[in-house]
Amino acid sequence: MQISMTKLSNSVLGSLADQTITISKKATNKVVENHPLLNTLEAQFSNFKAVFGKQIFSGMGTSVENADFIRDSSFIGMKTMLMGMTKLPPFANQQIAVDLFRIFQNRGLDINNYSYNDQTTEMDKLITDLSLPENLSKLTTLNLSIYFDAMKQTQNNFKTIYAEQLLANSNLRLTLSASSIRRNIEDALRNYLSIVEGMKSVTGWTELHAELNELVKSIRNSKIGTRTEVPAVATV
């Protein structure tokens, strides 16, 4: 079982801990009943919920994800239309499409995969470049102005919703003990999953390992909830 603990958002980290505890406390998993590492994980999860509970269950995360998805779709749509125009048989305005597509290339064709903050920064730069008078004229010539306006609106909508989330969570971010509490639950999860990994070949532990391994894989393979954290690999 391998997962980057510090790469997970607070909500996903909390979900991983919660589901790990739930699976471990099933009646069929007697081998870890009252196990000290499981008890430690439960205690740290209780502390974690006390500090991050509002952030986990506030619902703002879903709103931000949806706004980002719409923003991504608008960016990808503009990029794809311009790319298609550059590949068409020669036509009067093909060079204009090439010029505009080069602006996208300069800012990054994959910025929709960046972290929220990095994508917002690069999108602002892209919009600034495309808003120059000569580029606005080119967009009008290609009948793309309406799509550019839509892309700008999705960027503004995301920034508004994201700012609301940051404001809603500001008290949590200013909690002095928050970072240490997060590290504690990461350590508790890492220690517990390590012992399960080490005992996976022992009778009674195999089924528990299989369930937890599937849980870890599902979270590790998910792209949701991992955009804004600092990468740091923890092997368990």
Mean pLDDT within 42-53: 84
Enumerate the H helices of the chain as residue ranges: 10-24, 36-57, 60-87, 94-107, 116-130, 133-141, 145-168, 170-173, 178-198, 206-221
Q: Is the pLDDT of residue 57 over 90?
A: no
- Please tell me the predicted confidence (pLDDT) of residue 8: 87
Q: Is the pLDDT of residue 165 over 90?
A: no
Give buried/exposed letters for 31-47 (b at 16+ CB in 10 A, else e): bbeeeebbebbbebbeb
- Please tell me the predicted confidence (pLDDT) of residue 233: 31
pLDDT one-digit tens code per residue, 114-130:
988 899 999 999 999 99
Mean pLDDT within 98-124: 92
- Please state the domain extents for the chain: 2-58+177-235, 60-168
pTM, full prediction = 0.50
**221 to each of 4, 97, 196, 217, 234, how far by Cα in Å?**
11, 37, 20, 6, 15
Mean pLDDT within 141-147: 94
